[in-house]
A and B are shown apart, each in its own frame.
Chain A
Amino acid sequence: MRMFRSRTTRAVTAAVAVGLIATGCASERGKDGDKGGAKDTFVFAGAGDPGSLDPALASDGETFRVTRQAFEALLEHEPGGTKLVGGLAEKWSSNPAGTVWTFNLRKNVTFHDGEKFNAAAVCANYDHWFNWKGTYQSSAVSYYWQAIMGGFAKNEDPEAPKANYKSCTAKDENTAVIEVDRPSANLPGGFSLQALAIHSPKALKEYEKQAASGKGDAITYPKYSQEAGTVAGTGPYKITKWNKGNKEVTLTRFDGYWGDKAKVKNLVFRTIDTEEGRRQALQAGDIDGYDLVSPADVKTLKGQGYQVPTRDVFNLLYLGMTQEKNPALKKPQVRQAIAYAMDRENIVKTQLPEGGKLATQFMPDTVAGWSDKVTKYSFDTDKAKQLLKAAGESSLKVEFCYPTEVTRPYMPAPQDIFELIKADLEKAGITVVPKPLKWSPDYLDATEAGACALHMLGWTGDFNDGYNFIGTWFAEYDKQWGFKDPAVFAAVTDASKQVDPAKRVASYKKANETIMAYLPGVPISSSPPAIAFGKNVNPPKVSPLTQENFAEVSFT
């Protein structure tokens, strides 16, 4: 018995000792306030892993957040704004037809691998993308190239879009000329996209060696895009390590950067996939900042002394109506009745963070082309009832899909927003049949296939051109909306063909007025996504396009 007890005692004592040592060590680490060591490392948490270190292969924000610190495009957006400014090109211009774009390039710029940046490097990149083959032609891989420049030198899929890119010529060392076949509303905005950021020509040659590694029946990303070492841009940071097991990408200051050098030596992006987890990690001092802050946490964090700047709105939430799914929606009075029945001010007040805005059209007011002359549909339940009666739809029954298990920058609490709209519609006498669906892929598939009479979706803009919003939905027939209205389609496509920027903006305004008169759906709101930083951080200028430049970050 004594022996047993003494053994037990020894085991318990050892366990307690280990516990105390662990606790002590952990506490010491905690006291430093920086669990990664000295304050030369800034740790920022995102919600997902990047998909690739080559931005040309990506279409998601988590990838671009990382690559944006290492790669630069010909054009960029002003810090904290949406206006196009010079990036790797100091100046740019186009011919009157909008088909020849000339870029005067920045001098004395070098890539992370020591290669020199010049016009030949620009053309090497554009030609590299244009000549992609095999799996690179899948829209899952080269989404943005296809969205901006159409297809490829040799389209392998007959359904692929027709190529708009024609050529790139290095007129001299610092002048690159890019020709396209037809004028496009996506230009010059598209030249600012991360997916079209410029890589070192030496790295591109390495990429090409791996181009054939994709398998026929699956999309296999090449090795260079999955581990640090090959990719090389011109940005203030270079990517030095991607530890996938620890969900961490490490970037190190590039001392040869042409502009203002990064203030913090190391920049680490970590993935914490839950909102709660990111907030707790900030509060525990494990990270220095994070994105996709829940609106519900903003007040708490601010109260605790954290910095929670909100970005200017550059997104839109709308109530979509699929006319082919419910024939009643083909009647203009019914669509108008739904718009009048919705108390959208209440949604903005109760569901969006501070700075949320009521939407009057299918683009936020920060986009050039927003019009103050559109038809407005302010909350009026009685009017909604009258319109339904006039349409012979007093007992309208409509299926309403909403997504579960998701928050989007434009839609912080889908279910709550749905409940508010449902209650409003029911007050107007409309019977709502709720249909909750898991966001991905069920909800996305259902809305895209036109299977939801009413649904909520939205969009965050890529660059400041109206077509990036209204062109996405109303340039042609789309199952999601299920209508064919030549006037609406013509207004949008005609606007996109205007080469002169002022005329194009005026045309977008007209297009917005046409769309809101027709009312294919109801624009609801624009939400300012919040981003959080530690108490000891001098944060970067926050960008409505979520294009923060972390080279601006420093510690107090």
Chain B
Amino acid sequence: MLRLVVRRLLQLIPTLLGLSVLLFLWLNRLPGGPASAILGERATEADVARINRALGLDQPVWVQYGRFLKRVVQLDLGTSTQTGQPVWDEFVLRFPATVELSVAAMLIAVAAGIPLGYLAARRRGGWLDVTAVSGSLIGICVPVFFLALLLKGVFAVGLGLFPSYGRLSTGLDATGVTGFAVLDGLLTGEFDATWDALVHLVLPAVTLASIPLAVIVRMTRASVLEVVGEDYVRTAESKGLEKRVVRVRHVLRNALLPVVTAVGLLTGSLLSGAVLTESVFSFGGIGSFIRTSIDARDYPVLVGFIMFIAMVYVLINLLVDLAYSLIDPRVRVH
């Protein structure tokens, strides 16, 4: 197990190096630069040249890359050209919001998706199955931004049940500890802040959960249908094992293997793909920051973020592998 963890972590080094080279080449080919993004209509040729000199962007790409590598070795990701603050500080400030949103969305997706997929498979052809299959198709097809606007229009603007934007209500003087608004309220005893954060999470999390929920429902359903027909399930049933034991230990446990892989990958994509949801709900996470960073050609943020996400993907894959070994003893043996 330890060897697996170490091997995977070592694999990160060439992955990140290769990715950083590709990123630098890509960024270097993009039109425009941060100078005119900073000054807007006010940018003059002289101003742009001066800012590029100040940022070292007039240097050849390999010189910029060398400078970047030197900084990374010193655990310094550079400074955001948009905010003038260290990139790491910007991540620390915004990433908890994205993690909170993604985790909430994934909890919704898993909590609803697995039982729904399982029940749909068990009652194949019934109304629940038809509803789950067609509902998941809609979940995949409806664009996230449209769903976000729809939910917001109905539940925030129309019915006034939930806030229309943000992570916390205005004027709520919550104490920040970890940056995770829900957790901070629990840690500091400010339960109203936790409640407020949860209420703010509902609409964006439901929006963001739509695609993973649909995927999980369909995967669980397909997987359960496949496993139910396996010999070992029939054997277990004919042995006279209690139905609950057959369902949980033999059917669900085996059916969940591909679902766990999907959950891992979907979590990674949520962390990097919450851009639209965060924008519509003005959620203040990393997604909306990246969107403005692309507009502003904020190279340090873009490089840092993409490498960070790559790292997250590798780590999530590692966790998925570890989860595999817990679910499937055969993996442990090998």
Contact = CB atoms under 8 A, between A and B. Distances in A.
B303 to A, nearest CB: 13
B130 to A, nearest CB: 20
Given A218-B55, A247-B166, A448-B48, A36 B172 contact: yes
Contact of B161 (A30, A138, A217): A30
B83 interface: yes
Contacts of B156: 280, 284, 286
B171 A245 contact: no
Interface in B22-45: 31-45
A445 B33 contact: yes
Contacts of A441: 31-37, 295-297
B284 A245 contact: yes
Nearest to A450: B45
Interface residues of A, number: 75
Interface in A268-323: 268, 270-274, 276-277, 280-281, 283-287
B86 A220 contact: yes
B135 interface: no
A454 B22 CA distance: 35
A140 B93 contact: no
A286 B162 CA distance: 10
B199 A22 contact: yes
Contact of B282 (A37, A143, A245, A274): A274
B78 interface: yes
Nearest to B31: A442
Contacts of B67: 217
B41 A219 contact: no
B74 interface: no
Interface in A245-266: 245-248, 250, 266
Contacts of A212: none
B117 interface: no
Given A273-B288, A441-B33, A285 B160 contact: yes
A94 B181 CA distance: 55
A279 B282 CA distance: 13
A1 B45 CA distance: 76
Given A25-B199, A245-B179, A442-B32, A43 B163 contact: no
B170 A140 contact: no
A280 B31 contact: no
A139 interface: yes
B49 to A, nearest CB: 7
A280 B152 contact: yes
Contact of B41 (A217, A220, A459): A459
Nearest to B247: A4
Interface in B255-282: 279-282
A217 B56 contact: yes
Contacts of A116: none
B157 A458 contact: no
A450 to B, nearest CB: 9
Interface residues of B, number: 77
B295 A219 contact: no
Interface in A407-462: 438-442, 444-446, 448-449, 457-459
Interface in B147-167: 149, 152-153, 156-157, 160-167
B164 A284 contact: yes
B20 interface: no
B280 to A, nearest CB: 6
15 contacts: A22-B198, A26-B163, A29-B169, A60-B40, A138-B50, A139-B39, A140-B38, A245-B284, A250-B171, A270-B165, A273-B288, A276-B149, A286-B166, A441-B295, A446-B31
Nearest to B96: A245
A140 B35 contact: yes
Contacts of A245: 93-94, 96-97, 167, 176, 179, 181, 284
A138 B54 contact: yes
Which among B34, B47, B115, B288 has the highest number of chain A CB atoms within 10 Å? B47
Nearest to B59: A217
Interface in A207-235: 215, 217-221, 226
Contacts of B37: 440-441, 444
A286 B36 CA distance: 34
Interface string A20-39: 00110111011000011100
A395 to B, nearest CB: 30
B81 to A, nearest CB: 7
Contact of A159 (B46, B160, B296): B46
B99 interface: no
Contacts of B33: 441, 445
A41 interface: yes
* 8 cross-chain pairs, A with B, having the tightest CB-CB distances, nearest first: A441-B32, A221-B84, A36-B171, A30-B160, A218-B79, A36-B170, A445-B32, A444-B36
